[in-house]
Amino acid sequence: MPAPRVSATSAGAFTPPPGSNMYSQQQRMIMEAFRAEEYIKDRMDVQSEPLYDTNTSTTTDAAGGVIQEGQPSSQFFTNIVGKPLNLTNMKKANELMNPEAQAVMAYRYYLDPRNSVLDSENVMASFALRFTMGSKPYQTVPLWMIPQGGGLFTSGCCGDACVVTNGEPKKDAIRTLGVTLILEQGVWFEGALIGGPYTVTSNFIHQLNLDGLHARGIQ
């Protein structure tokens, strides 16, 4: 019996032969990660990549630099119009396109190193993160518990230059989920900072990153 066909460009893309149990360890891991009824059947293209969205607050924006619960400055995956790829890879606000799915294995909250130390410290102290899918919150967590695992890092200051990051810039310095969350096409979702208000002192850039496996239909 022939082995399952695996794409040369994606070890996650495959079509198993009818009635075959000949899956590789990676294929079994992918199928287990996407244990859902609506999307994953027997054909999929899966890449290890995140969904992400970035917000910027300034003292001159419409909100006057105020980050506050329930406002655009605190909402991720909602306000995506006009953002380039370095700021978001969402194509539709609060939903995945058809056919897509995401197995979320870690939340990563990123603080841009150009932020002032005061702003980074105050936002970390003033807010929690809540991730909602449909009408149900699936994660409510203090920001310090979802380290970014990347970015510039310093244990102190060098002259006038200081950088504050949410954790160390290591690929394993993230908090992985004990239970994988599956986002499916057509299901509304949002990440939001809960707390505030806090008024930034200068430009403040932060990103929510849903790290995991991104599945799309084979073209």
Position 170 scores a pLDDT of 84
Position 162 scores a pLDDT of 78
Model-wide pTM > 0.85: no
Residue 178 lies in a domain: yes
Position 99 scores a pLDDT of 84
Position 24 scores a pLDDT of 64
Position 35 scores a pLDDT of 62
Residue 70 lies in a domain: yes
Residue 80 lies in a domain: yes
Residue range(s) defining the domain that contains residue 166: 51-214
Instruction: List the helix and strand counts (H, then E) for the chain.
Output: 2, 15
Position 46 scores a pLDDT of 86
Residue 45 lies in a domain: no
Q: Is 208 exposed, middle or buried (0-12, 13-18, 19+ CB in 10 A)?
A: buried
Amino acid symbol at 122: N
Residue 41 lies in a domain: no
Position 195 scores a pLDDT of 97
Q: Kindly give, in sequence order, each residue whose CB lies less than 8 Å from that of residue 131, ignoring residues fewer than 6 positions away.
A: 107, 137, 138, 139, 140, 181, 189, 190, 191, 192
Please list the ranges in the chain whose pLDDT falls under 50: 1-14, 37-39
Number of domains in the chain: 1
Q: Kindly give, in sequence order, each residue whose CB lies less than 8 Å from that of residue 51, ignoring residues fewer than 6 positions away.
A: 77, 89, 90, 96, 102, 104, 183, 209, 210, 214
Residue 19 lies in a domain: no
Residue 30 lies in a domain: no
Position 11 scores a pLDDT of 38
Residue 201 lies in a domain: yes
Position 10 scores a pLDDT of 38
Distances (CA, A) of 189 to 26, 74, 98, 161, 215: 28, 14, 15, 37, 17
Position 5 scores a pLDDT of 35
CB 184 within 8 A of CB 35: no
